[in-house]
């Protein structure tokens, strides 16, 4: 996937909870999206900053660009769900975050789920009734 001048800026939503995000599972795909010419956008249930982790140790924070309530699936070309143990668990308990993921799945746009992140997709019905 790469962006061209005619279709720029294409946006990729990164959906995360406020805490428990494995740093490398956010930063590496984020950098890859930027390197491909797309604009990564950090989406979270709450405004402010999110806390990333290196395993169990706190790492850096990142500023939320849009809350889930503000974000519109039609504004994005793809969705990335970073992992971490606590992040997907918190997301799957948030109705608005699950609805955002569900709407992305229904749109037919690409969705990437890293490590534990498929938990959110299961909650969004990606596997059908379970």
Please check whether residue 17 is in contact with residue 43, taking contact to mean a CB–CB distance below 8 angstroms.
no
Please give the Cα distance from 93 to 53 (Å, whole number): 20
- Six-digit token string for 113: 């789920």
Please tell me which residue in 116, 120, 121, 124 is annotated as part of the active site: 116
Active site residue 116: yes
Q: Please, what sign has the CA dihedral across residues 33, 37, 38, 40?
A: positive
Please give the Cα distance from 97 to 93 (Å, whole number): 8
Active site residue 115: yes
Please give the Cα distance from 23 to 54 (Å, whole number): 6
Please check whether residue 78 is in contact with residue 111, taking contact to mean a CB–CB distance below 8 angstroms.
yes
Please tell me which residue in 32, 73, 115, 126 is annotated as part of the active site: 115
Active site residues: 115-116
């Amino acid at each position: 996937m790469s962006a061209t001048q005619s279709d720029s800026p294409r946006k990729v939503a990164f959906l995360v909870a406020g805490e428990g995000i494995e740093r490398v599972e956010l930063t590496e795909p984020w950098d890859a999206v930027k390197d491909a010419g797309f604009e990564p956008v950090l989406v979270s249930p709450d405004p402010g900053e999110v806390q990333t982790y290196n395993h169990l140790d706190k790492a850096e924070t990142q500023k939320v660009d849009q809350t889930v309530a503000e974000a519109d699936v039609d504004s994005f070309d793809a969705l990335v769900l970073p992992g971490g143990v606590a992040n997907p668990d918190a997301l799957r308990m948030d109705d608005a975050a699950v609805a955002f993921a569900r709407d992305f799945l229904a749109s037919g746009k690409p969705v990437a789920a890293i490590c534990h992140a498929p938990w959110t997709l299961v909650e969004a019905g990606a596997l059908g009734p379970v």
